Amino acid sequence: MNRITKALSLTVVLSVLPVIGVASTFPSEPPAPATPKNFMLPEVEHFTLENGMEVSLIPYGTTPKSTMMLHFDTGNENDGDKRGLSDITFELLNKGTSSLSASDIAKQAASMGGQVTTSAGMNTSRIAIDVLSEFNEQAVALLADLVGNSEFSEADLERAVANQWRQIEVSKSRAQGQAVEAFYEAMYPAHPYGRIFPTNEELTRISRDDVLAFSSRYLNGSHAHLYIAGQFDSQSLKQAITGAFASLPAGTKTDSIAPPAPAPASQLVMIPRDGAVQSTVRLGQRSIPAADDKYVALEVMNTLLGGMFSSRITQNIREDKGYTYSPRSAVFSHDGAAVWYQSADIQAESTGEAINEIVSEIAGLQQTPPPAEELQGVKNYMSGLFVLRNSSRSGVIAQLVNLNIHGLPKSRLTNYISLVNDVSAETVSEAARNYLDLNTMSLIVVGDPEQMQTELSVVENLPATQSEK
């Protein structure tokens, strides 16, 4: 009998052997999930330069790369009467310095394995680069050069303004952009948090002197915090940072902007979009800030209600009734303030019914705590998502920046999973009752005017204050 024949014979014998004894050794139910573990933050080395600039070094991972993010405590909140000034300033940071052209900057970054990126936010803005670790010291020097020696030329300013306005025009031409703008205007009237898009006139009024003044006031040591996560030699990197940023002026730390006034009465804002086959809806209100000790419970409640694919609102108006493809609820925080909202693009002829279903889901959660199995599924989802957010160098830096913006203790990060899993079913209902007031919510609807009037007539308890944009 040759080897092939022997193998076939063995296969036949094994195939007819009884398998009852083997199968009986497997459990009839899957094992219980392990107890969720809190996040172990790597040992962060923190120091402050003589000019006030803070530095956080975070050893992370085994890949020989480093992510560097130089954050400044400034952004659109400091634009004043020239909205878009911070966006323009940060866009110009990688357009040329006294010794490097924009092309030189791009080539230098590429030779180190990365590229320079910039962005301006409401409370914080950044310039960043991701490089191979062998180029850590050169990357630090490049960041310092961009911040300290940018030219902010008139030609680059003109192009940046044109680019910004093109992007704004695209956003404002879409129903979603119109809804977002109207929503934040309703949430934060007469406050920087409520000013989403600058006008073309505001952008074109920004001069090179404005950019230089903004840079001098905010791009200094008093407002700067450099985060570096990855692989590095701590001693040589500290020396490189100290030397590269020694000439950055200290500046003077500016006071935080005044907090927004209490939210006004609820509003119904209708934005006509002739012939639209969908209604873009945003329903929401002001909520508690991230520093509040009930904020994690609010996040759990939001996730269960509309913040994940298997959430109640999503299952209701997408999966069960097919009114919309992309419903989503979220809690969004600025420094000292936050909003909760539900958004959806809904079939025009189903707008009223969909809004009523959203309201019904909110009311139901307020009245009845969720079942244990449903709540545990939400906690598992949030725990897993939190782990994913911390699975990269940029993700860990983003978490530390978030702590800094909202003045949160490190324990909010390291104990987050425990905080989520400690939220009870009754606490979820309590959060829905306390922070989702159906009598004070504002409703933004972008859609066909005639269809909107018909659909909104079936919505219960519409806001008394109504306006059309």
Asked if the model's pLDDT at residue 78 lies above 80, the reply is yes
DSSP readout, 269-326?
Answer: EEEE-TT-SEEEEEEEEEE--TTSTTHHHHHHHHIIIIISTTSHHHIIIIIIT-SBS-
The tally of domains found in the chain comes to: 2
Q: How confident is the model at residue 115 (pLDDT cuts 50, 70, 90)?
A: very high
Asked if residue 314 and residue 280 are part of one domain, the reply reads yes
Q: Which residues contact 171 (CB under 8 A, 6 or more apart)?
A: 177, 197
Which of 191, 210, 244 finishes a domain? Answer: 244
Q: What is the spatial distance between Cα 137 and Cα 327, in angstroms, rounded to a whole number?
A: 46
Q: How confident is the model at residue 22 (pLDDT cuts 50, 70, 90)?
A: very low
Asked if residue 281 and residue 227 are part of one domain, the reply reads no
In-domain check, residue 108: yes
Asked if the model's pLDDT at residue 19 lies above 70, the reply is no
Q: Which segment of 108-112, 186-190, 261-265, 353-357 scores lowest on mean pLDDT?
A: 261-265
Asked if residue 167 and residue 69 are part of one domain, the reply reads yes
In-domain check, residue 88: yes
Asked if residue 274 and residue 147 are part of one domain, the reply reads no
Q: What is the spatial distance between Cα 286 and Cα 442, in angstroms, rounded to a whole number?
A: 9
Q: How confident is the model at residue 276 (pLDDT cuts 50, 70, 90)?
A: very high
In-domain check, residue 314: yes
In-domain check, residue 175: yes
The CA–CA distances, whole Å, from 282 to 91, 366, 444 equal 30, 20, 5
Higher pLDDT, 259 or 56: 56
Give φ, ψ of 259 to 5 degrees.
-65, 155
In-domain check, residue 250: no
In-domain check, residue 30: no
Asked if the model's pLDDT at residue 7 lies above 60, the reply is no
Q: Please report the pLDDT score of residue 32 as a whole number.
A: 65
Q: Where do we find the tokens 């992510």?
A: 67
pLDDT tens figures, 368-407 = 999 999 999 999 999 999 999 999 999 999 999 999 999 9
115: three-class secondary structure by DSSP: coil
Task: Name the DSSP class of 188.
Answer: S
The CA–CA distances, whole Å, from 275 to 102, 279, 447 equal 45, 10, 8
Asked if the model's pLDDT at residue 20 lies above 80, the reply is no
Q: Would you say the pTM of this structure is higher than 0.75? A: yes
Asked if residue 202 and residue 238 are part of one domain, the reply reads yes
Q: What is the spatial distance between Cα 306 and Cα 436, in angstroms, rounded to a whole number?
A: 13
- Token pair of 207, please? 């001069």
Report whether 51 contacts 226 (CB < 8 A).
no
Q: How confident is the model at residue 33 (pLDDT cuts 50, 70, 90)?
A: low
Considering the chain, what is the average pLDDT of its residues?
A: 92
pLDDT tens figures, 202-213 = 999 999 999 999
CATH number of the domain within which 375 lies: 3.30.830.10
Asked if the model's pLDDT at residue 24 lies above 80, the reply is no
Q: Please report the pLDDT score of residue 255 as a whole number.
A: 83
Higher pLDDT, 97 or 462: 97
Asked if residue 193 and residue 295 are part of one domain, the reply reads no
Asked if residue 308 and residue 426 are part of one domain, the reply reads yes
Q: Please report the pLDDT score of residue 464 as a whole number.
A: 76
Q: Is the dihedral of CA 192, 198, 201, 206 positive or negative?
A: positive
Report whether 227 contacts 237 (CB < 8 A).
no
In-domain check, residue 21: no
Partners of residue 71 on adjacent β-strands:
126, 225
Q: How confident is the model at residue 264 (pLDDT cuts 50, 70, 90)?
A: confident
Asked if residue 309 and residue 219 are part of one domain, the reply reads no
Asked if residue 196 and residue 88 are part of one domain, the reply reads yes
Report whether 164 contacts 84 (CB < 8 A).
yes
Q: Please report the pLDDT score of residue 34 as a whole number.
A: 65
Q: Please report the pLDDT score of residue 28 as a whole number.
A: 65
Higher pLDDT, 252 or 1: 252
Higher pLDDT, 286 or 21: 286
Asked if the model's pLDDT at residue 413 lies above 50, the reply is yes
Asked if residue 238 and residue 302 are part of one domain, the reply reads no
Overall size of the chain counted in residues: 469
In-domain check, residue 448: yes
Q: Which helix (H) or strand (E) holds 41?
A: none
Q: How confident is the model at residue 127 (pLDDT cuts 50, 70, 90)?
A: very high
Asked if residue 415 and residue 276 are part of one domain, the reply reads yes
> Domain of 370?
267-468
Q: How confident is the model at residue 460 (pLDDT cuts 50, 70, 90)?
A: confident
Please choose, from the candidates 153, 142, 156, 127, the residue with its C-alpha nearest in 3D space to the C-alpha of residue 218: 127
User: How large is the average pLDDT for residues 71-85?
Assistant: 96
Which of 175, 209, 244 finishes a domain? Answer: 244
Asked if residue 437 and residue 366 are part of one domain, the reply reads yes
Q: Please report the pLDDT score of residue 467 as a whole number.
A: 82
